[in-house]
Amino acid sequence: MRSCNIITAVLISILSCNTLMAQFNYDESKVPAYELPELLQLNDGTPVKDAAAWNEKRRAEVLELFRSEVYGRRPGRPKALRFEVTKKDEEALGGKARRREVRIHFTSEENGPSMNMLLYLPAKAKGPTPAFLGLNFRGNPTVSKDPGITLRKGDKESDRGKSSGRWQADMVIDRGYALATIWYGDIEPDDKRNAFSQGIHRVYGPANKIPPDGWGSIAAWGWGLSRALDYFETIDEIDHKRVAVIGHSRLGKTSLWAGAEDERFALVISNDSGCGGAALSRRAFGETVKRINTSFPHWFCDNFNKYNGREADLPVDQHMLIALMAPRPVYVASAAGDRWADPRGEYLSAKHADPVYRLLGTEGLPAQKMPPVDKPSMGRIGYHIRTGNHDVKAFDWKAYLDFADKHLGRR
């Protein structure tokens, strides 16, 4: 009896191990042979031979495929959008910055859905400055130890500055850029059960009536980033034509989709965005489409489930998402220890987007092979793989600032 139990236990553990392994792979030799969808060919098979064919036809086709099959369709700017400055330009960061807080209201209701933006402006700036804009994971007060950042419901005094390493506010300001951030949960909670009933989705319709190509949370968060850009268009301190959108991990997926949907973003940065972000889905290395749709069913549109375990059937792959930024500068960053996000797949997306950048007359990605760790390659497409784990470090920010200097210029 006892040995029977042991055999059953061993069998169960082998089976569950196999099930888990079927959900992700860390072995390069097991990456399936794959063929990427043609980037430079219209859906009807016509080759895309010049910039006009990309700009006028192919870009729209690719964008539409991502909308209908991956992220879902998002609404436009709400008519009632309005901006309320809740804290006006106090001295911050030892005098080098001015801190402003702005509530961006999505509807006309006074206590309706809104998001709170924290904005640091370089104190020395003589004219409009370029800016970095990104969503944060744990609330605005976590971005800096600055005691003047307003604590909102759920924020703790003891959490001040807990994510400051990921934001490098001093470095950004010292280099002459503004830094703006919003807690992503203000737009929509990252919660598979309640996302659509408590977030911005509810303004646009009942949670149970989302069509198969209806927007998921990544699209909702990206929509929020566009609303922040709407605010920049109304002020003189920021040059809204020189705004870089940045995001890490799920928020890196978000910055990419925001950059694809909203061409007003002048530069787009994906930090360790992985599956559903910069990594090629067809490699099925690290996190897979099935795994991400199972763990986070609210992130993408329902149609994306059709490709669970069937990556080869996707009409797009993520290099096409990178190409949607063209000819705007785009930076993809990986971390060597972040196998879940598939660094090689992230590099390959950047590389396979290169033909579109070249077609549009830019330098694309200079690196012909995956660059060694800690050696950024910067053309109009940038890429690096950093030593270390899934995170945003000073090394990453230095590269982003160098890349922004190259393309947005310090004026």
Q: Summarize as ranges the residues that interact with ligand GCU (CB under 6 A).
A: 249-250, 274-275, 287, 292, 295, 340
Which listed residue (114, 144, 163, 249) is catalytic?
Answer: 249
CB of residue 281 vs ligand GCU: minimum separation in angstroms?
A: 12
Nearer to ligand GCU by Cβ, of 129 and 281: the residue is 281
Q: Establish whether 390 is a catalytic residue.
A: yes
Which residue matches tokens 């925001």? 258
CA atoms within 13 A on the CB side of 377: 20
Omega prior to 327 cis, within 30 of 0: yes
Nearer to ligand GCU by Cβ, of 274 and 364: the residue is 274
CB of residue 65 vs ligand GCU: minimum separation in angstroms?
A: 21
Distance CA 122, CA 14 (A): 58
Q: Establish whether 164 is a catalytic residue.
A: no
CB of residue 295 vs ligand GCU: minimum separation in angstroms?
A: 6
CB of residue 292 vs ligand GCU: minimum separation in angstroms?
A: 5
Kindly state the tokens that stand for 74: 């998002």
What three-state secondary structure class fits 60? helix
CB of residue 272 vs ligand GCU: minimum separation in angstroms?
A: 7
Beta strand residue intervals within 66-217, DSSP E? 82-92, 97-105, 114-122, 129-136, 178-183
Nearer to ligand GCU by Cβ, of 250 and 384: the residue is 250
User: 132: which strand partners?
Assistant: 179, 244
**Do residues 163 and 142 touch, judged by C-beta distance below 8 A?**
yes
Least Cα distance to 400 among 384, 144, 326 occurs for: 384
**Do residues 292 and 299 touch, judged by C-beta distance below 8 A?**
yes
Q: Strand 82-92 and strand 238-248: pairing?
A: unpaired
Nearer to ligand GCU by Cβ, of 337 and 366: the residue is 337
Nearer to ligand GCU by Cβ, of 224 and 379: the residue is 224
CB of residue 270 vs ligand GCU: minimum separation in angstroms?
A: 10
Neighbours of 207 (CB within 10 A): 13
- Taking the alpha carbons at both ends of the chain, their separation in whole angstroms is 79
Alpha-carbon distances of 403 from 37, 169, 410, rounded to whole Å: 29, 17, 11
**Do residues 93 and 68 touch, judged by C-beta distance below 8 A?**
no
The catalytic site residues sit at: 249, 390
